[in-house]
Structure 1
Amino acid sequence: MSEAGQELVHLVWGKKAGPRGLADTIFCRWAQGFVFSDSESTALEQFEGGPCAVIAPVQAFLLKRLFTSEKSTWRDCPEEEQKNLLCHTLCDILEMACSDNSESYCLATWIRGKTTEETASISETALAVEELGFERFHALIHKRAFKSFPELKDAVWDQYSAWTNRFGVLLFLYSVILTKGIENIKNEIEDATEPLIDPVYGHGSQSLINLLLTGHAVSNVWDGDRECSGMKLLGIHKQATVGFLTLMESLRYCKVGSYLKSPKFPIWILGSETHLTVFFAK
């Protein structure tokens, strides 16, 4: 893996990531795609604990995209419409993550010409079990850069099968990080040594959730920045498109600011001790 690739892995999984430092079960729990429910055609399914930190924000923005369309009902969504909804949603989040300091829009994709046979078996299901391990997965992906948003959109649609098959969630997470820029994320995270995904329990950090919700990987949920003992603590700087609430506030562990509590659309992610849930009003 390239030096930039190692930097990405360290940012997401921590510096001890690898065959001996990261439990196989943690990586496998994250190895799923964006899969629509058979019973609720606009709902994304989660199969194991952990990836809700990516799936929940995507679900929230998918609902926002759905409610601002001309579609009359959110309960009936044919397959082609699901594809368009998901791809538009992924593009919305990538566009939000592309800051002034970002070099270009980026996608994490399979290396062309090397993965046809190796990924054929994982293309049949969104949650295959043991085909690719941590090291092999990272050896088979690379970064593609796009100078314009229309180019990115075309590539997102072309890569639809990758989003919905195994590793789709990770490929998208890496795409957001690469688009935002690793250094830009490090400058926003309160503790740059803390990985975005906990290597022991597998849950996503608040910085990861905020990155996908607002385009900024800040570690706090209050409005604006604060100073504590001469240290600048970054918060949320403007009204979010979709919101965030947490049960931790009822226990007085934190206080969510109005930018996340009162979003532009009546869609919220609710954080509990172990999970993220999306709820909305229409």
Structure 2
Amino acid sequence: MTISIAEISSSLVREYLSRKGLKKTIVCMDEEHPRTEASVNNRSQLRQMLNLEALYRKSKVNVENSQFKTLLEIIVKHLIDGTTNELDARSLHFNTDDGMALRSQVEVPKTSHTTLLFPEKTQSFAHHKSSLTAHDQNGQGTDVDLKIPVTESKKRNKASRPRRGMMTGPVASTPEESIKKRQIRKAEYNQPLPHNEREKDDEDCLLQTVQSSLYKDHYEFAQGSSAEQLTSQMEKRVQSSLNVSNVNVSEMVLDDIDDEEMQSLPRMFFNKTITRQSWTGCPMDQQTATELKVVLLGSSLNCFSVEWRNQGFTFSEIHDLRYGIVQTKGGPCGVLASVQGFVMKKMLFEDSDGSNCFNKLRPSNSTRRKCLVLAIAEILWRAGEEKQVIVAMNSGSKHFIPAGKYKSDGVLESILLFTLDNQKALEQFLDQHIEQFESTVMGCLLLVVSAVLSRSIDKLREDMDVPTTTLIGAHGYCTQELVNLLLCGQAVSNVFDNDMELDSGNSNLMLLKGIKYNSDIGLLSLFEHYNICKVGNFLKTPRFPIWVVCSESHFSVLFGLQRELLTSHLKEFDLYYYDGLSNQQEEIRLSVCVDRSAPCSDEASELIPPLELCIRTRWKDAAVNWNDTEPIL
């Protein structure tokens, strides 16, 4: 493989970031500077390519330098100390064919390990010693004392010897001795274990193989397979290690790993942040930002309000309302209610955990986050006509300096755009970046921008009755076009079924565009009660018993737990109501009775809650029982 200076340098930076635990920074780096085939993702290989083996061992021995655990810090410390030439002059290498590479500053350990593990090497060592002695007599070398006391091994108790294939436990030893023992473990030994030792070493071999596998996978830093794939690989390795006759001792080497690293391996091994995949994004330019501001706000000189900039998709922590997305201030309620509707669809009718719908209203953190990912993915995939999606992400830094008739507010200037043409890839991408949508910084706006660009601005204007209509209307409220875009994938201006031609006189016909098909999430509007608009059957009878409710210029959500109430003529059923802006503290369960023989309250004699009027646009003359909760007026 051709060595690339640029890729080696990048890999050195990635090793530093990984060692310091800066996972999000690694993700940003991979997005702006993607990895290539020349990238080095293994720490040991990186040390070898940079010829840092001796320097690394010296830093481990030196107590002063032991605090520097990254290769970059070790290099910087070494350059500051100015000992590069001295280290190179003192380094001596033996023949690598003998399986050893000894430095002059590391003395061969005076233990029985040498004769126990390498009995056939004694003669070779003697040869090297004689060669070095002759070399020194000629005045050209440095004397290296290679004392290998063979008799000392006979005095030691056999039970105290480290068995082959066994990782020794913590011992009280000096740093020099630790380096010596590690040097021996690094040598390959290809002879099989004696048959009489195999059975007693089974458990030790299994432990060693698992730990070696954990070490290998951990140091593929911030890159590689998913957690599921790594888990599968681990299971295969453990299974294969049960057959000890197939164990290769050379594969059981544990190299370059500290005790504190080993203790943290299980946690880091399954940490989601180390399995992130790299994606390449394109910075937003001023032209696209200008077009977005015009279609969203009406002018490139307008700015997003605080209510929009500081809204994300965060869930309630109230026990009975854990499924609900919380709205901080008025404005983006149409977006939140639409996403809430799809979250309820995923949570109640598509989750396969086997529990009943009522129990699903108390989701775990992981379940509701998963539902949020799938909900956003479905909204965007539908907006992109199930072909291609553009997802907006906040990079945290500006990509262009506004010029001309454009007023900067720090939102669109910092966006990166990612194009995905596969639904599974979209879900994976959102799962890895869902924190951005949950964030109170631009979380809601990222979804709106993504939906608009996925639909494309040109098609979006074709959807509207009046092409100059904005998606964010007066007082920062969502327009019907924006809600329809999120619910149905098209920014049509009306809620009735199909298109309608309106005769404006003098043979001038105006085409009014409506909903083209049954939506998964429906809509009920108070305007219909006042005969201002007509909600068609496509929205009034969705595929799932979930409705976005438009009442008093505010959007909220109404849903049922039984799909039968859409297909059967049930006389009585329950509906649940959630309003993320109302500071709701308890679950609101409404018992609806559609039995026409039952007496209905007189609207003229008492004040009817607007929500009940919305329900009656779907179930005429329905009686609503609030079940001891205070009616919302």
Same fold (TM over 0.5): yes
**2:352 is equivalent to residue 70 of structure 1:** yes
Change over 3 Å in CA distance of 1:262–1:85 after alignment to 2 = same
Verify the 8 A CA contact 2:465 2:511 in the aligned structure 1: no
The equivalent residue for 2:370 is: 84
The equivalent residue for 1:61 is: 342
Verify the 8 A CA contact 1:108 1:144 in the aligned structure 2: yes
Alignment partners' CA distance in 1, 2:466 and 2:552: 21
1:223-242 equivalences in 2 (<5 Å):
223-229=497-503, 230-242=509-521
Larger radius of gyration: 2
Alignment partners' CA distance in 1, 2:434 and 2:410: 22
SS of the counterpart of 1:45? coil
**Which sections of structure 2, spanning at least 5 residues, go unmatched?**
1-284, 399-406, 504-508, 562-633
SS of the counterpart of 1:64? helix
Structure 2 counterpart of 1:183, one-letter code: D
Q: Given the alignment, which residue of 462, 465, 483 partners 1:187?
A: 462
Change over 3 Å in CA distance of 1:161–1:246 after alignment to 2 = same
Give the Å deviation of 1:7.
0.5
Alignment partners' CA distance in 2, 1:265 and 1:241: 6
Structure 1 counterpart of 2:317, one-letter code: D
**2:413 is equivalent to residue 162 of structure 1:** no
Q: Given the alignment, which residue of 533, 540, 543 partners 1:254?
A: 533
| CA deviations over 1:36-59 (Å, ceiling 9, x no partner) | 001111110111111111000100
Change over 3 Å in CA distance of 1:134–1:252 after alignment to 2 = farther
Give the Å deviation of 1:2.
2.1
Give the Å deviation of 1:88.
0.7
Q: Given the alignment, which residue of 38, 45, 49 partners 2:317?
A: 38
Give the Å deviation of 1:277.
1.2
SS of the counterpart of 1:62? helix
Give the Å deviation of 1:148.
2.0
Alignment partners' CA distance in 2, 1:92 and 1:143: 18
Structure 1 counterpart of 2:477, one-letter code: H
Structure 2 counterpart of 1:30, one-letter code: W
| CA deviations over 1:93-123 (Å, ceiling 9, x no partner) | 11111127x6x211011237x38xxxxxxxx
1:43-54 equivalences in 2 (<5 Å):
43-54=324-335
Give the Å deviation of 1:177.
0.9
Report the structure, 1 or 2, having the larger helix content: 2
SS of the counterpart of 2:360? coil
Verify the 8 A CA contact 1:269 1:276 in the aligned structure 2: yes
Alignment partners' CA distance in 2, 1:143 and 1:70: 33
SS of the counterpart of 1:176? helix
The equivalent residue for 1:219 is: 493
Identity across aligned pairs (percent)?
A: 30
Alignment partners' CA distance in 1, 2:395 and 2:560: 41
| CA deviations over 1:69-92 (Å, ceiling 9, x no partner) | 234222321111122110011111
Alignment partners' CA distance in 1, 2:298 and 2:418: 23
Report the structure, 1 or 2, having the larger strand content: 1
Verify the 8 A CA contact 2:521 2:543 in the aligned structure 1: yes
TM-score for both structures, normalised by structure 1? 0.86
Alignment partners' CA distance in 1, 2:542 and 2:408: 37
Please report the RMSD computed on the Cα atoms of aligned residues, expressed in angstroms.
Answer: 1.7
**Which sections of structure 1, spanning at least 5 residues, go unmatched?**
116-132
SS of the counterpart of 1:254? coil
SS of the counterpart of 2:491? coil
Q: Given the alignment, which residue of 513, 536, 548 partners 1:269?
A: 548
Alignment partners' CA distance in 2, 1:178 and 1:152: 15
Verify the 8 A CA contact 1:27 1:134 in the aligned structure 2: no
Alignment partners' CA distance in 1, 2:367 and 2:540: 30
Alignment partners' CA distance in 2, 1:237 and 1:274: 24
SS of the counterpart of 2:524? strand
1:136-155 equivalences in 2 (<5 Å):
136-155=410-429
SS of the counterpart of 2:373? helix
Give the Å deviation of 1:239.
0.9
Q: Which runs of 4+ in 1 moved over 3 A?
A: none
Greater relative contact order structure (CA < 8 Å, 6+ sep): 1
Verify the 8 A CA contact 1:223 1:237 in the aligned structure 2: yes
Give the Å deviation of 1:134.
5.8
Verify the 8 A CA contact 1:105 1:179 in the aligned structure 2: yes
